[in-house]
A and B are shown apart, each in its own frame.
Chain A
Amino acid sequence: MTGYRIQGATGEWEVVVGLEVHAQISTQAKLFSGAATAFGAEPNTQVSLVDAAMPGMLPVPNMECIRQAVRTGIAINAQINKWSRFDRKNYFYADLPQGYQISQLYHPIVGEGSLEVQLDDKDPESTKTIGIERIHVEQDAGKLMHDQHPTMSYVDLNRSGVALMEIVSRPDLRSPVEAGAYLAKLRTILRYVGSCDGNMDQGSMRADVNVSVRKPGEPFGTRTETKNVNSVRFVMAVVEQEAKRQVALIEDGGTIVQETRLYDPDRNETRSMRSKEDAHDYRYFPDPDLLPIVLDDAFVEECRASLPELPDAKRHRYETALGLSPYNAGVLTAEVETSRWFEALLAQSATQQGKPEGEVAKQAANWLTSELFGALNKLGKGLLESPVSPEAGGELLALIGKGTISGSAAKQVLEIMLETGNTPGAIVEREGLTQTSDTGAIKAAVDAVLAANADKVEQYKGGKEALFGFFVGQTMKAMQGKGNPGLVNEVLKAKLG
């Protein structure tokens, strides 16, 4: 595969990207206080004395946050540090009540790990392993509101103290596609693990995008960091725009300064926020209010045992044990909800047909990815809003599998299910869509059709084999579409000799 290159006036440039992803840990309570973490609450209604940094207040670690970070670390095959510690990152800002953020600089809870991304949906071989340097746990800050008063800013501390994981990649990404695929894959894993809901539009997940450019084979260039990018698409745009900007600047004789930038989606450009000269000296030091976090083997093992089947393993199983195509396996495992839905559908279908899952999996996968996704797409709905439950879907698949209804009838039934929410059995009954596999009835219908079209039978026998389809159609019509198409074919072939 040829690498992504930017064509500059002086030749080709390579882009080097690393992501620092901030993922809000899905817990009811904050990292060091019992205050709630729900999104969208009225300002300053989820603030404890600790979050407001009242005098004499002390942080107490919420071990559920630690547990989720460890589970996430195991999910990316990372080293789990059984001894870790919190540090204070000191700086003044109105949204930071303590005057420091409690974070982990020197001894993060999760060390080196990696994840595998697939760069082309259609090509299962297009994988790349992206290194992850560390995951550390830290507090979020509050939020300033500048639109509440003509001359003053207000502070909302609801987010103050909410637990974040900062997941730091190696500078292993080389293109917008790789950066996008990495972020998407990371989001998938977090959602499987349940450690972050991945809602990027609510700020539950956001990325700081580090970008530099170089001539292929040369050492790394100076990087810029674009902060708080909140969608996969924007991350890809930042990589592209920032790389182009850097190349143009260097080729114009300028130099890249290490700085913090912001992305403006409306203009699709990055803008300087502050340069390294203005950078804070954060004066990190171990937080003396907190003891080191010491984990024992049992804790780590419990975390490991509590993990669900992860996307890569699931995808592999779908391909090997269930015989799904790589494409279907990829689609069905990309979101944890989709795989859950699929597995419920498959279980129902297999049970009702009395067959092992492996035998009916392809049918279920094809129906879900083409029939149901197509229908939902037309309705503008996601799988979670589907009016058809996995149980009802499984029932429908069983009706097809057992030959009770034809494939075309099944499409009709699905439409009615989506409209009415009725079960497929009831719909088939009411609409009289049951297909006939009674060979006697089929033979009678075929005989009648052949008798009524003796001229065409002659033509067929004379070599006009294309007429076979005509006989099938006439037979089906005579049977009001309920004839089992396989049996109709079989009988016709026998009769026409």
Chain B
Amino acid sequence: MTDLTDLGVAAIRAGVANGDFSATEVAGAFNTAVADAQPALNAFITLTPDKALEAAAAVDADRAAGKALGKMAGVPIGMKDLFATTGTKTTAASQILGNFVPPYESTVSQKLWDAGAGMLGKLNLDQFAMGSSNETSAFGNVISPWRREGDTAQLAPGGSSGGSSAAVSARIAPAATGTDTGGSIRQPAAFTGISGIKPTYGRCSRWGIVAFASSLDQAGPMARDVRDCAIMLEAMAGFDPKDSTSLDLPVPEWEANLNADLRGKKVGIPREYRMDGMDADVARAWDEGIAWLKDAGAEIVDINLAHTKYALPAYYIIAPAEASSNLARYDGVRYGLRDLPQGAGLQDMYAATRAAGFGAEVKRRILMGTYVLSAGFYDAYYTQAQKVRTLISRDFMDAFQTVDVILAPTAPTAAFGLGEMVSDPLAMYLNDVFAVPASLAGLPAMSVPAGLDRQGLPLGLQLIGRPFDEQGVLDAGLAIEARAGFTARPAKWW
């Protein structure tokens, strides 16, 4: 029998449905793999092997009873610890929610359980999803399963969905949820050689997801391949009346409609993404991607996204501004950490609680956000950034008059080493440079593995689509996947 942990979503679902193996066997195999890897990778904050087994038993029982099985039946997954899960700690990788157990389940996680998925555990992440390396977690760094050739230095799994990317690439979870505010699905997917898609803003309900920046936050799947992403996204998406920004549209059959034949399609190559001093391997991967899409039948068109260079500064105004307000609720009054020094009043309690409960990066962003919203600065920063955001959206809409999908690198480099960037927040923020424009415009965007760099580390290519056209993004991703032949996986050193 094959090693069950080598299987992805589609294969597990088919095997369980066919009776090749039981969901319980699958859950058991992954539970073992998780427990085995946890000390080395620290991908999880909370392990929930019983939840995985419980869900698996229910699927096995349903199958035995001849009942119809859900889209994710028998697939145990990792849940980013930003999604509220009833009765299971939901920490956002912070001290302030370090012991928080929600009495409610996020819409997206509930949909996954309803589709037959089970929960292996709550995945580590950058604190409140703020970070690009998973080094801001209050529960320790996630260690990437990847290593540079001939080197044992610890690498970043990307962020903020670093627990998710590490778990999927290490084959200790067939798939995981992620959230993407400015690249937090795509960049870690690229760093670890897996696929991940951020759907159109509003496709997945934000209800029950700890908020970072409300106008940008989107949930999405991270998995081994494009098909697995399509399956899982179908299970996660859908209108939710509890989220005012949720899209009231039916969920398309992305999986059934997957089609790697791109004849008649036009792919845009944005000039502005080809920056001076671009990493040679990244440039080469991009060129290969262009060739593969051409091979798939697409016509390649050069496009302008003129305001690209303003995207990163605009993002680092808007996201912290929203975060500074969204995180105000963590005040020690009703739930979460409370630090009440002897004789302290309300203001002292706020100060002590928030000083102890938030990490340095979270504090930095609250400070930035508070600053840009302050009287006298609001127009110069926030209003200006919103104008830039509008211009960036317009650039994309203009481009989509001509092209169907845009191809660009996901990140400017392959994975960097842990500790290499932490002392330089600006350099760290630059990692999001290719990811944030699509976030600001609310567009569906995906990262797929393209190959390895000269050090043997994965590189990702990004596909950006029209609003609501996840299908176009998935199809182009599938075309690349078919030609890249990416089979590399990290050697098991843990």
Contact = CB atoms under 8 A, between A and B. Distances in A.
A283 B374 contact: yes
A92 B331 contact: yes
Contact of B373 (A52, A90, A97, A288): A90
Given A55-B92, A283-B374, A99 B244 contact: no
A283 B370 contact: yes
Nearest to A53: B329
B115 interface: no
Interface stretch (A57-65, A72-80, A192-200, A350-358): A57-65
B476 interface: no
B13 to A, nearest CB: 28
Contacts of B322: 285, 288
A54 B102 contact: yes
A55 B329 contact: yes
A100 B328 contact: yes
Contacts of A185: none
B373 A155 contact: no
A56 B206 contact: yes
A59 B350 CA distance: 24
Nearest to A99: B328
Given A55-B92, A56-B209, A285 B382 contact: yes
A155 B333 contact: yes
B104 A49 contact: yes
Given A56-B209, A100-B325, A285 B215 contact: no
A59 to B, nearest CB: 7
A56 B211 contact: yes
A285 B104 contact: no
A239 to B, nearest CB: 30
B328 A289 contact: no
Given A285-B325, A289-B214, A60 B331 contact: no
A322 interface: no
A57 B207 contact: yes
Given A59-B244, A291-B245, A92 B211 contact: no
Contact of B325 (A60, A90, A291): A90
Interface in B43-85: 83-84
**Interface bracket on B:** 35 or more
B106 interface: yes
B353 to A, nearest CB: 11
B329 A98 contact: yes
Interface string B312-351: 0000000001101101110101110000000000110010
Nearest to B351: A92
A55 B100 contact: yes
A94 interface: yes
A92 B328 contact: yes
Contacts of A94: 331, 333, 346
A290 B246 CA distance: 10
Contacts of B241: 60
Contact of B97 (A49, A55, A57, A290): A55
B298 to A, nearest CB: 35
Interface residues of A, number: 31
Contacts of B102: 54-56
A137 B216 CA distance: 26
Contacts of B328: 90, 92, 98-100
Interface in B441-463: none
A73 to B, nearest CB: 22
B215 A288 contact: yes
B181 to A, nearest CB: 11
B104 A58 contact: no
A252 interface: no
B88 interface: no
B244 A97 contact: no
B84 A58 contact: no
A55 B210 contact: yes
Interface string A130-153: 000000000000000000000001
A71 interface: no
B208 interface: yes
A97 B209 contact: no
A88 interface: yes
Interface string B225-246: 0000000000000000111110
A455 interface: no
B90 interface: yes
B426 interface: no
A287 B333 CA distance: 23
Nearest to A56: B208
A438 interface: no
Contacts of A283: 324-325, 370, 373-375, 378
A429 interface: no
A281 interface: yes
A55 B346 CA distance: 21
Nearest to A55: B210
Interface in B89-106: 90, 92, 97, 100, 102-104, 106
Nearest to A100: B325
Contacts of B103: 49
Given A58-B206, A97-B329, A100-B325, A281 B244 contact: no
Contact of B84 (A55, A60, A281): A55
B213 interface: yes
Nearest to B346: A94
A56 B90 CA distance: 11
A130 B243 CA distance: 40
Interface string A276-288: 0000010111011
Nearest to A60: B244
Nearest to A47: B334
Nearest to B371: A283
A92 B329 contact: no
Contacts of A290: 244-245
A283 B114 CA distance: 41
Contacts of A155: 333-334
B210 A56 contact: yes
B329 A99 contact: yes
A54 B104 contact: yes
A217 B448 CA distance: 73
Residue of B214, B244, B322, B335 most packed against chain A (CB within 10 A): B244
A322 B100 CA distance: 67
B244 A61 contact: yes
Interface in A89-127: 90, 92-94, 97-100
A281 B327 CA distance: 17
A281 B376 CA distance: 10
With a 10 A CB-CB cut-off, give which of A99, A283, A291 has the most chain B CB atoms: A283
A100 B369 CA distance: 14
Contacts of A281: 374-375
B329 A285 contact: no
B37 to A, nearest CB: 28
Contact of B214 (A54, A61, A92, A288): A288
Interface of A: 49, 52-61, 88, 90, 92-94, 97-100, 153, 155, 281, 283-285, 287-291
Given A97-B329, A100-B325, A283-B378, 4 more contacts: A88-B325, A90-B328, A285-B382, A288-B322
Please provide the 4 A-B residue pairs with the shortest distance between their CB atoms, ordered closest to farther. A99-B328, A288-B215, A283-B373, A288-B214
9 contacts: A57-B207, A97-B329, A99-B329, A155-B333, A283-B370, A285-B322, A285-B378, A288-B213, A291-B244
